[in-house]
Chains A and B, each alone.
Chain A
Amino acid sequence: MSAHQLAFLVLGVLILVSALMVVTVRNLVHAALFLILCFAGVAGLYVLLQAEFLAVAQVLIYIGAITVLILFGIMLTRKITGGAQPPLASHWKAAGAGAGAFLLLLLYVAMTGQWQVSDQPPMDSTTTLGLALVTRYVLPFELASVVLLAALVGAVLLARDETR
Chain B
Amino acid sequence: MEYVVMAAKAVVVFALVSGSMPFIVWAERKVMADAQARIGPNRVGPFGILQSFADALKLIFKEDVVPTGIDKRIFYLAPILSIIPALITFAVVPYGGPDLKLFGYPVGYVADLKDVGILYVFAVTTLGVYGIVLAGWASNNKYSLMGALRSSAQMISYEILLGLSIMGVVIGSGSLSLVEIVQAQATPYFGVIPGIWLFAQPLGFLIFLIASLAEANRVPFDLPEAESELVAGFHTEYSSFKFAMFFMAEYINLLTLSGVITTLFLGGWLGPGVDRFPILGVLYFSVKTVALVYFFIWLRATLPRLRYDQLMRFAWKVMLPAALINIFITAYWVAR
Asked if chains A and B come from one complex, the reply is yes
Count residues of B near A (Cβ-Cβ below 8 Å). 28
Stretch at the interface among B120-128, B250-258, B289-297, B316-324: B120-128
A64 to B8, CA, bound (A): 29
Interface of chain A: mostly helix, strand, loop or mixed: helix
**Contact B113–A59 (Cβ < 8 Å):** no
* A64-B159, A68-B152 given; A53·B130 CB < 8 A: no
**Contact B156–A57 (Cβ < 8 Å):** no
A116 to B114, CA, bound (A): 29
Pick from A36, A55, A81: contact of B130, CB under 8 Å? A36
Interface of chain B: mostly helix, strand, loop or mixed: helix
Pick from B120, B145, B156: contact of A68, CB under 8 Å? B156
**Contact A65–B159 (Cβ < 8 Å):** yes
Question: How many A residues are at the interface, by size bracket?
Answer: 20 to 34
Stretch at the interface among A69-77, A106-114, A152-160: A69-77
Interchain Cβ contacts within 8 Å, total number = 71
* A52-B113, A75-B145 given; A68·B119 CB < 8 A: no
**Contact B152–A57 (Cβ < 8 Å):** no
Minimal Cβ-Cβ distance residue in A for B77:
A33
Shortest Cβ gap from A161 to chain B (Å): 14
Shortest Cβ gap from B281 to chain A (Å): 26
- Is A22 engaged at the interface, CB distance under 8 Å to the other chain? no
Task: Name, among B123, B124, B153, the residue most crowded by chain A CB atoms within 10 Å (CB to CB).
Answer: B123
> Would you give the 0/1 interface string for A71-94, flagging 1 where the beta carbon is closer than 8 Å to chain B?
110011000011000000000000
A150 to B257, CA, bound (A): 36
* A63-B127, A75-B148, A76-B149 given; A53·B119 CB < 8 A: yes
* A72-B152, A76-B149 given; A126·B116 CB < 8 A: yes
Q: Which 8 A-B pairs have the closest CB atoms?
A: A64-B126, A59-B123, A56-B119, A60-B123, A56-B116, A52-B115, A126-B115, A52-B116
- Which residues of B are in contact with A by a Cβ distance under 8 Å? 71, 74, 113-116, 119-120, 122-124, 126-127, 129-130, 133-134, 137, 140, 145, 148-149, 152-153, 155-156, 159, 176
Query: Would you mind naming 23 contact pairs between A and B with Cβ atoms under 8 Å apart?
Result: A27-B71, A30-B74, A52-B116, A53-B119, A55-B116, A56-B120, A59-B124, A60-B123, A63-B123, A63-B127, A64-B123, A64-B159, A65-B156, A68-B130, A69-B152, A69-B156, A71-B137, A71-B152, A72-B152, A75-B148, A82-B140, A124-B115, A126-B116
